[in-house]
Structure 1
C-alpha cells in the first residue's frame, strides 16, 4: 500500500510547489482557528478569575478582530490551492497513464473489457484525489494544530497536555492503523466496480450482437449480480469509514472531557487552564474529526493506484533501445529470416519469412484469413517484436530505432480505421497536427471525398459521430484515407482497406487508392485483387512464408 502511494507522489513531483502550498495554506487556516479560540479562551478565563475585564482580557479580545478576517482568507486560499494542485496532479496522472497504455495496447492489457479500462482511467484516477485532499492536507493541518496545542497548553499547565492534547494526538495515528484493513476492503470495492462497468459497457459496445442473440435477459442478470456484489463491498467499506469517524469524534470529545475534568478537580486555580483547554479542544475538533477517515481515503487511493499500475506496468510488446538510431535517409524495407508468434504457447505466424520492398515499390500481399497479413503490418510498425530475424528500414534494423521514428516513416490504413466523435478537421489532423485547412482539403480531394465534405453546412467542422456514424462506410473509409495521405511517411501499408464495402464501392475505393498513393512505397494487404490495382510485385503468404503468386 505504501509503495503505491509513494509512487503516486512521485508522479506528482512536477506539481510539488502547488501540493506543498496547499498543505501550508491548510495548516495556516487551522492555526488561525486555534489562535482565534485561544485568544477567546484567554479573555474568558481572565474575566472569570477577576470578575472584570482586565487589560489582558481586553487585549485578547481586540486581537480577535483581525483573526476573524484573516481566517476566512486562509480558508479561501486553501481551497484554491488544494483544488488547483489536485486538478493538475490528476491531469498529469491521466496523461501518464494514457501514454503507458499507448505503448502497451498492441500486446493487450489483459483487462476484462472496455468498461474495466474506462473505470481505471476515470474512477481509479479520481480516487487518487483522496490521497491529497482527504489525507495529506487534513493530516498536515492536524499535525500543526496538535503541535500548537501542545505548546500553548504546556505553557499554561503541563498537566493539561496529558488530559487534552494526548487524546487528540492519538487521533493522528488512527489513519495508518486503520488503513491496511480499509485498503483490503477498498481493493475489493475497486474490483467490483470494474466488474460492474464491464458488465454494463461491453454489451453496449456490441449491442447489435446482444439483441440478435436475445441476450438482454442474461446481460441484465449479470449486471444485477455485479451491482449487488458492489453494493455489499461498498457497505462493508462504509461501515469501516463510519467506525473510523466515530473513533475520531470520541477522541476529540475525550479531549473536551479532559479539560472539564481538569477544571473541576483542580479548583479555582485550574479554571483558567481548563477554559483554555476547552477552547483549544473545540478548535481542534473541526480539524481532527475528519482525520480518522483519512485511513479510508488512503485505502481508496491505494486501491485505485494498484489498478492503474497493474495496467501501466504491463511489459510493452517491444522494448525501446537505450540509444535509438536516427532515422535513415532511405526507406527501402527488407525482412530477413523472420520468425514470429504472438505467444510462446501459440503456433508461429511466420517461419523464415523473407521479403523486399524497394523505394517506390508497390507490393500486393495476398492470403486468406489467419495467414499473417495483419501480423506483418504490426511487425513493420514496430507494434510487435519478432523472435528471430530482423526488419530493416533504409538499411537500419528497426529494433535499433525508436518506435515513433519507425512510424514516422511507415503509415498504415487498416480496415478498422476509426473516425472519432470530433470534427473532420480534428480527425484529419491526427496525422498532421500542424496541417493547414488547404492541406486538409487537398488530402480530401485526393481521397475523392472533398465534394461530400464541401456540401456539408459546417464543412471541416462537421462532427463525424461515434465511429464515423455520420457517414456511410465508403465515405468514412475515404476520410480515413485522407488522414493517412496527410502523413509524410514515404511507406504506406494498406491492410484490407476496402473490406466491408460492396463490390462497386470497393473497386472505386481501390482505384482512388491507386491514384492517391503514387510516389510512395505501398504494401497492399488483401484477400484478392480486383484488377484495378497496379502492383509491381505480387506475393502470397502461406505456411509462414511469402511466395510468388501463381496466376
Structure 2
C-alpha cells in the first residue's frame, strides 16, 4: 500500500525510540484515568439503581404481606401503618428511575470521553512512529479496520466487566447481610445460603477466566473470515462473469462455518452459565423456605421470632438479585474481548516482536535531527537494496548520484523496483542494504518535516472540496496560490468550467473526477510550496502528450533548486536529465 506523503513526522532526538522498547503501550487500568470521577459517579448511581430495584421488590412484598396479615388479625382496626411503607415505595421507585437515568447519562459521557481519549492516544502514537513502522503496522492490522474495531471493543472492560461486577458484588453482599439480620435461621442454613450466593458469583468469574482464550479464538477466526472475503469482493464482478465466485469463496465459507460453530458453542455456554446462576439463587430461596418451614414446625424459641413479611421480602430479594448477577454470565467473553483488543493494539504499536526486519533499521533512521542544508544539495545511493516484506522482486544494488536542478528519471520493466526505490527514499520501506546520503550525511538522519514530497501510485483524495484537498499540502494557501498550482498541472481551464469553482466536491477517493485529474490534483497539492525533494511515481499517467509536456515543464521549473526524482514509463524529449534504468531482480530470502 503506497500513499502520498505530504509531511514527515518530527521526532525529537531525545525521545526514546519506539523500536527500542517492548513495554506495553497500553494497559486496561489506564482506561480509568481519563474520566475516573465520572466512572465513580456512574458506579454510585448504578448501585443506587440496583439497590432501589431490590429494595422496592422486597418492601412491596413485605408491605402487601404485612397489610394482609393486619387485615386478617384485626379486621377494621387501624393498627397497621401503611403510610410509611407506601412513602418508602414511592421514594424507591423515584430513586430507581432517577438512578437509572443518571447512570446512563454519566456512563455514556464517560464512554464517549474514553473513546475520544483512546483514539487520540493510539492515533497520535501511531503518527509519531517512523513511516517504516507505520506502513508495517497498518499492513499487519489489515489496514485501519482492526485498529478502530479494537479501540471500540476496549469499553467492554468497564461496561461489561468492572461496572456489573462491582454493582453485583456489593448488592449481593448487602442482601446476604440483610438475610443474616432478618431471618433467625440456624448457622448451618445461613452458611448454605451464603455458599449458594457465593457460587452464583464465582461461576461467572471462573467462566470469564476460561473465556479469555475463547474470546481470542473467536476474534482470530472472525478476522480470518473477514480477510478471506475481502479479496474476492474486490473482484466480485469478474468472478461472477467467470462463474468462479463459489470456488474463490470456498475458504471464506469454511471460515464462516467455523465461526458460526464457535458462536453457537459460546451461546450454549452463555445460556448454561445464566441458567446455573439462576439455579443457585433458586436453591437459596428453597433453603430459606425449607429452613422457615422447619422452624415453624419446631418448638424452639427461634420459631416465634419468624417475621412472615420479612421472610417474603428475603425471598423476593433473592429472586430480584438475579436481574443484576445473571448478566455476569451472559457477558463472560467481555474480559477476553478487552484483553485481546489490548494485546492487539500493543502489538500494533510495538511491532518489532512480530516483525524482526524492523530491528535492522539503524537508530539514525528514527531519531531525525540534522538540519537540511540551505544551498545546493546532492544525494548518493550506493548499492541500495530494498523490497516490500514478503515480495519476490524489488530494487537491488542501486547506485546513482543525484544533483539539485538535474532531474533523475527512473525507468525499467515492471517488477524491477522503481516504486519500491521511491518508497525507500520516502521512508516507507526499510533499506535492506547499501547507503543513502544527502550532502555526505545519512539521508534518514535529517529532520525532513514537510521538505520531502511523495506522490505514490495510490492517491489520497478525500470526500471534500477541491480547495480543502489542495490545502492539505499548505493549510494557509491563498486562493491565488491554489489557482497557480492548478495552472501548473493544466487544471485551470477545467476549474473555470466548474460552477462551484474551488468548492467543487471531489468525492471519496476522487470518484467525481477522472483518474488523470485526480493525479494532477494530488500533484498540485505538492507544488503549493517549494520542497527540497520531490518523489513522483508516474505523475504523467492518463495525460495526453500536450498536457504531459506542460506538466513536466512546470514540475521541472518548480523543482530547479531541489532534487526531483520521477518514475515514468513515458518516452519523449525531456531535456537534460539523469536516467537510471533498473533491471528486474529476484530476491531469495
TM normalised by structure 2 equals 0.77
1:270 aligns with 2:300: no
2:159 is aligned to: 133
2:110 is aligned to: 85
1:481 deviates by 0.8
Change (3 A) 1:199 1:423: farther
1:305-364 CA distance string (max 9 Å, x none) = 444445444237457768642543537353364543446997883437353434x55333
**Do 1:362 and 1:523's aligned partners in 2 also have CA atoms closer than 8 Å?**
yes
Structure 1 residue runs without a partner (length 5+): 545-551
1:547 is aligned to: none
2:494 is aligned to: 452
**Do 1:415 and 1:498's aligned partners in 2 also have CA atoms closer than 8 Å?**
no
1:298 paired residue among 319, 335, 340: 335
2:181 paired residue among 155, 174, 179: 155
1:363 is aligned to: 408
1:30 is aligned to: 50
- How many Å separate the matches in 2 of 1:217 and 1:502? 41
Which has the higher mean CA deviation after the structures are superposed, 243-252 or 255-264?
255-264
1:283-432 equivalences under 5 Å are 283-315=320-352, 317=358, 318=361, 324-325=368-369, 327-330=371-374, 332-335=377-380, 337-342=382-387, 349-351=395-397, 353=399, 355-358=401-404, 360-393=405-438, 396-401=441-446, 405-432=447-474
Change (3 A) 1:406 1:95: same
- How many Å separate the matches in 2 of 1:208 and 1:533? 44
- How many Å separate the matches in 1 of 2:165 and 2:473? 47
**Do 2:473 and 2:525's aligned partners in 1 also have CA atoms closer than 8 Å?**
yes
1:475 is aligned to: 517
**Do 1:409 and 1:490's aligned partners in 2 also have CA atoms closer than 8 Å?**
yes
Structure 2 residue runs without a partner (length 5+): 1-22, 297-303
2:246 paired residue among 186, 203, 217: 217
2:226 paired residue among 172, 197, 200: 197
2:532 paired residue among 490, 498, 502: 490
1:32-51 CA distance string (max 9 Å, x none) = 33443454466557657765
**Do 1:338 and 1:386's aligned partners in 2 also have CA atoms closer than 8 Å?**
no
1:206 aligns with 2:235: yes
- How many Å separate the matches in 1 of 2:235 and 2:485? 33
1:521 paired residue among 550, 559, 563: 563
- How many Å separate the matches in 2 of 1:540 and 1:56? 101
- RMSD, matched Cα: 3.8
1:72 deviates by 1.0
Change (3 A) 1:510 1:533: farther
3-state SS, counterpart of residue 252 of structure 1:
helix
Which has the higher mean CA deviation after the structures are superposed, 102-111 or 371-380?
102-111
**Do 2:270 and 2:331's aligned partners in 1 also have CA atoms closer than 8 Å?**
no
1:478 deviates by 0.9
1:7 is aligned to: 27
1:8 deviates by 3.8
**Do 1:366 and 1:538's aligned partners in 2 also have CA atoms closer than 8 Å?**
yes
2:8 is aligned to: none
1:173-198 CA distance string (max 9 Å, x none) = 22331124433333333233223322
1:251 aligns with 2:276: no
3-state SS, counterpart of residue 340 of structure 1:
strand
User: Whose RCO is larger (CA < 8 A, sep 6+)?
Assistant: 2
3-state SS, counterpart of residue 379 of structure 2:
strand
**Do 1:23 and 1:136's aligned partners in 2 also have CA atoms closer than 8 Å?**
no
3-state SS, counterpart of residue 25 of structure 1:
helix
**Do 1:244 and 1:293's aligned partners in 2 also have CA atoms closer than 8 Å?**
yes
1:59 paired residue among 84, 96, 101: 84
- How many Å separate the matches in 2 of 1:144 and 1:471? 61
1:477 deviates by 1.3
1:182 aligns with 2:211: yes
Change (3 A) 1:506 1:444: closer
Which has the higher mean CA deviation after the structures are superposed, 390-399 or 438-447?
390-399
3-state SS, counterpart of residue 448 of structure 2:
helix
- How many Å separate the matches in 1 of 2:526 and 2:184? 77
1:382-411 CA distance string (max 9 Å, x none) = 22333455444566534445xxx4252211
- How many Å separate the matches in 1 of 2:35 and 2:511? 40
- How many Å separate the matches in 2 of 1:432 and 1:158? 80
**Do 2:394 and 2:417's aligned partners in 1 also have CA atoms closer than 8 Å?**
no
TM normalised by structure 1 equals 0.82
Which has the higher mean CA deviation after the structures are superposed, 168-177 or 337-346?
337-346
Change (3 A) 1:411 1:397: same
Which has the higher mean CA deviation after the structures are superposed, 11-20 or 147-156?
11-20
- How many Å separate the matches in 1 of 2:26 and 2:564? 49
1:463 aligns with 2:505: yes
Change (3 A) 1:445 1:22: farther
Change (3 A) 1:152 1:393: farther
1:414 deviates by 2.4
1:440 deviates by 3.3
2:16 is aligned to: none
Number of residue pairs matched by the alignment:
534
1:259 deviates by 3.1
1:26 deviates by 1.8
